[in-house]
Copies of this chain bind each other. A is one copy, B any other.
Amino acid sequence: MSIRQQGREQRLQRIVDAARGCFAEQGFAGTTVEAIAARASVSNGLLYKHFQGKEHLFQVVVTDIVRDWVRALVPAESEGLGPTQKLEAMFRRSVAFCRTNPLLPAVLSGDKRFELVRIGSPDRGRVHAHRQLVASVLADGIAKGEFRADLEVDVTADLIQHIHAEYASRAYRNDPEFPYDDALVDAAVRFIHAAVRA
A residues bordering B, Cβ < 8 Å? Answer: 25-30, 102, 109-113, 115, 124, 128, 148, 152, 155-156, 158-159, 162-163, 166-167, 169-170, 173, 175, 177-178, 183-184, 187-188, 190-192, 194-196
Contacts and interface: CB of A to CB of B under 8 A. Distances in A.
Q: Is the interface of A mostly helix, strand, loop or mixed?
A: helix
A148 B190 CA distance: 12
Report how many copies the assembly holds: 4
26 contacts: A26-B113, A27-B28, A27-B112, A29-B29, A29-B30, A30-B30, A30-B115, A110-B173, A111-B173, A128-B177, A152-B187, A155-B183, A155-B184, A155-B191, A156-B187, A156-B191, A158-B178, A159-B188, A159-B191, A162-B167, A163-B163, A163-B167, A192-B195, A194-B195, A194-B196, A195-B195
A146 to B, nearest CB: 14
Given A158-B178, A166-B162, A191-B156, A173 B112 contact: yes
